[in-house]
Each structure stands twice: as C-alpha cells, then as structure tokens.
Chains A and B, each alone.
Chain A
Amino acid sequence: MDGHIFDPEGRYARHLILPEIGPAGQARLNAASVLVIGAGGLGSPVLLYLAAAGIGRLTLADDDVVSLSNLQRQVLHGTARLGQGKTVSARARLADLNPEVRIETHAIRFGVETAVLVAGFDLVIDCTDNLAARHLLNRACVAAGVPLLSGAIAQWEGQIGLYAPGLGGPCYACTFPEPENPPPAQSKGVVGALPGVVGARMALEAIKHLTGAGQSLLGRLWMIDTLWNEERLLRTHRRADCPVCRGKGAAC
C-alpha cells in the first residue's frame, strides 16, 4: 500500500499530492462507506466521481431501468444498457472505472420498509426525484444519526445542502418543512448538463465531508440558477419546532 500511495502515476496520485487530502484523506476515502439513493441524473456524476475517488464501500439503490430519454443526462448509463436495471448498468460501469471499490446494489425503490438501509453508513446521498422520498430519507438519516447530503435539480437550477443534526446543523425538514399540501408539480424538463454541474458538486462536497477538507455545506444551502447566472450560499438554521429532529444535536 505504501508503494501504491507514493506512486506518482498511481490511481489516487492527484489526491495524494493535494494538501487538503493527502495520504491521510485518501485513506479516509478508501475506508468510507457511502449510500447513494438514485442512479439517475444526479446519481450518475455522484457515483462516477465517488467510485473514481476510491470510496471503500459504495452502495446504491434504484429500482428503475435505463430508458432512451434518460441518456440525454444520465451519463452513467449507455445505449447498450437500454432496458437493463440501473443498478446492473451502474455496477458494470463503476466496476470498470475502479475495481478497487466494493460496490453493493439494491434494485429497490427507497420507501418506509427500506429506510433501515441507511444505518451504519458514513454518509447518505440523496439523488431522488421526488419530495416525499426526500423527507422519508431525511427522517431515516436523523433516526440513524447518519449525515445526509441532499441535492436536487429543476430545469436549469439546483440546490445542495448537508444535513446532520448530530454535527450541530439543521436537518432537511428544518430547512424545508414538509408542506401540508403537496407543492405544485415541477416540470420534468431539464438541461442535460445540469445534473453534471450539481451532481459533480455533490460528489465534491462528499469528498470534503469525508476527508474534513475545507468548509462543508453544514448549515448552508447552495443554490444555482445556471440560466441567469445567479448563485447563492445561504445560511440555514436548526429549528427547535422541527418535527423530525426537534433542533437537537451536539453543539458545534
């Protein structure tokens, strides 16, 4: 392993010479376990970059199959995989990208009965495509004490936050309380490169969180409107009246 670490042409050479990651940070990535829910638009760059980064155990859950209209943005999959399960397609591509990563797949739709899946992971990443699943995943992560990196897209825009009451930050429901009435349906139109922008940033934030590099998105919400070049980094707060985490968590 030592010889591998100092090989300037080794797989992780560009991480090893980066001061904020280095051998210690790369060792943390190699030892980390990450669960990614959704292997679609956001899940594609998240899974590709985390596999490439050498995450030790990379687990993904998705019950969908690869369809032609996915391929405009879901670059993890390919034309030869049309009709196959996304977990099957993802496993093949990720194993080719980095055979050192232990890849686990669950061809399931994340639901109440599968919420126990989050326990024991170092980080859960929300790449789902609906608000109900996002709130369900948040409840499961708060209950299990697992940090949740949640990203979402809409047409030309995206949002990312890191939610971890156990680390002193808010949970997803502190920032976006679950509405009594369902919000208006969001258009399914999305520019193909958008999940690349937002998903790659999610992978990057996962790497920062797992290695401790720089400042994480805990207590922050990053928003980008790529159509009109607006970008904001908002401060978010724990809510004592949050029905999910009740504003609990160790002081930061």
Chain B
Amino acid sequence: MLDIVYFAWVRERIGHPREQVETGAATVADLVAELRARDPRYAAAFADPAVLRVALDQDLADFTAPLAGVREVAFFPPMTGG
C-alpha cells in the first residue's frame, strides 16, 4: 500500500487530503497515469503535471523516479499567495 498526500489546489480538485492506494506503478509518472484514468477529478488535478512537484518519502523527486520501496508520495504545486 502506498500513502498519497495532496496539497493546495491538487487536494481541492481531488477532494481529499490523503489516501492509500494499491498500485503496481513502477514510477511516479505511471502512478499519475493510473490516477488520471480513475475519474475526472484526478484528470483535472493532473491535467498538466509540469506545474506540479512530487516528493517521495519527503524527498523532492522527478516524475521519472521509481516507486520501489517508497511509502509516501506527496503531490503539490508552488503556492503563490502572500
């Protein structure tokens, strides 16, 4: 099981702050593709992954990074308000 945490407008679009998923995704990009296919909320949240960042077990990573051994994936955008 993989813990996924969503921040800011990613959370807002998906509708919840965290969830556990059973996945065979090998990389972050594979996981994103899986999530996008779920329903329109996920498709909207991940419409343009280039504006998002991802952290694996609290370490900033690329979308090409492998998920083997990872317990938590966090997706977040740059926040911009001041």
A residues in contact (CB < 8 Å) with B: 38, 40-43, 126-131, 134, 151-155, 157-159, 175-176, 179-181, 183-184, 186-188, 190, 195, 221, 223, 225, 227-228, 230, 232-237
Contact = CB atoms under 8 A, between A and B. Distances in A.
23 contacts: A40-B82, A126-B82, A129-B80, A134-B80, A152-B82, A153-B79, A153-B81, A154-B8, A154-B9, A154-B81, A157-B8, A159-B76, A179-B51, A181-B50, A186-B79, A186-B80, A221-B60, A223-B76, A225-B17, A227-B17, A233-B58, A234-B58, A235-B60
A232 B74 CA distance: 9
Interface of B: 5, 7-9, 11-12, 17-18, 48, 50-51, 53, 55, 58-60, 74, 76-82
A149 to B, nearest CB: 13
A175 B11 CA distance: 20
Given A42-B82, A175-B53, A233-B58, A155 B48 contact: no
A157 B7 contact: yes
Given A153-B81, A159-B79, A221-B60, 5 more contacts: A130-B80, A152-B82, A154-B81, A184-B9, A236-B60
B17 A186 contact: no
A175 B81 contact: no
A38 B80 CA distance: 13
Given A223-B7, A228-B17, A129 B60 contact: no
A166 B67 CA distance: 32
A13 to B, nearest CB: 32
Contacts of B58: 232-235
A127 B82 contact: yes
B78 A183 contact: yes
Given A175-B53, A175-B60, A176-B53, A232 B5 contact: yes
Contacts of A126: 82
Nearest to B44: A184
Contacts of A175: 53, 60
Contacts of B18: 228, 230
A134 B78 CA distance: 10
Contacts of A184: 9, 51
A196 B60 CA distance: 26
Contacts of A187: 9, 12
A157 B5 CA distance: 13
Contacts of A227: 17
A154 B6 CA distance: 13
A129 B82 CA distance: 4
B79 A225 contact: no
Contacts of A151: 82
A152 B17 contact: no
Contacts of A157: 7-8, 79
A67 B78 CA distance: 26
Contacts of B80: 129-131, 134, 152, 154, 183, 186
Given A154-B79, A154-B81, A227-B17, A234 B74 contact: yes
